[in-house]
Amino acid sequence: PNNYGNYNTKNFFSKHSLLLFYFSKTILFLHCFYVKQNKSFNMIVVDGDESTNDTCLLMANKASGVNIVNDGEIDPNFQEALEYLCIDLAKKMVKDGEGASKVIEANIYGAKNIDEARLAAKAIVTSPLFKSAVFGGDPNWGRIVSAIGYSGADVSADTVTIAIANKQDEVDLVKDGEI
């Protein structure tokens, strides 16, 4: 709850498909929602397949009378709240994925740009070999490096650091290209 009205969210899960509807009583530009989807829903992988039913909608009807646009810019507080909501729901989708017993989150730092980071992250989390290593509890850093290598991202082996973490601990497997 915030000063932008109430949010009602309905999730309908059927196997690997997503039908997600956001209902908001505020005005929102499509661009803002598009950007938030690219940081959340478009970055998750459950089984590697996309469904023809995967849909994400945001609707606004101006009923609240709240103006989130000032001087042609969308209020940063609204954008932050929308981003939090999208990322939180995307992570819940992964946790609720059919047969999911573990969740992998790839955080890429120091990439040349966001597209390079996305290439590397998607390659890691879609790698069947890396997913097998995670499922088996084997922190096989070679499978991560391999995925980054074939991702198409421009990466220098001398600067790669790979850390495996859970909620309590973090361990560097590779630090600045050294094992």
**Is 24 a residue whose pLDDT tops 60?**
no
**Cα(73)–Cα(110) distance, rounded to whole angstroms?**
28
Provide the pLDDT for residue 124: 92
Mean pLDDT, range 13-39, rounded to an integer: 55
56 backbone dihedrals φ, ψ, rounded to 5°? -140, 120
How far apart are the C-alpha atoms of 124 and 122, rounded to whole Å? 5
pLDDT of residue 147: 93
What is the band of 13 on the pLDDT scale with cuts at 50, 70, 90? very low
pLDDT of residue 6: 35
What pLDDT shows up at residue 2?
A: 35
Pick the closest to residue 38 from 114, 126, 94, 92 (CA basis).
Answer: 114
Q: Give the β-pairing of 170-174 and 162-165.
A: antiparallel
Task: Please list, residue by residue across 47-86, b when 16 or more beta carbons sit within 10 angstroms of its beta carbon and e when fewer do.
Answer: eeeeeeeeebebebeeebebebeeeeebbeebbebbbebb
- Of residues 142 and 12, the one with the higher pLDDT is 142
- Count of beta carbons in the 10 Å neighbourhood of residue 87: 16
pLDDT of residue 165: 86
CB atoms within 10 A of CB 22: 19
In DSSP notation, 12-62 reads EEETTEEEEEEEESS---HHHHHHHHHTTGGG--SSS---TT-EEEEEE-S
110-166 pLDDT, tens digit per residue, is: 888 888 988 999 999 889 999 899 889 887 889 999 999 999 999 888 888 898 888
Nearest to 81 by CA among 121, 118, 26: 26
Among all chains, which residue has been given the structure tokens 């998750």?
A: 44
User: pLDDT of 49-108, one tens digit each?
Assistant: 666 667 777 776 777 777 777 777 778 888 888 888 888 888 888 888 777 888 888 888
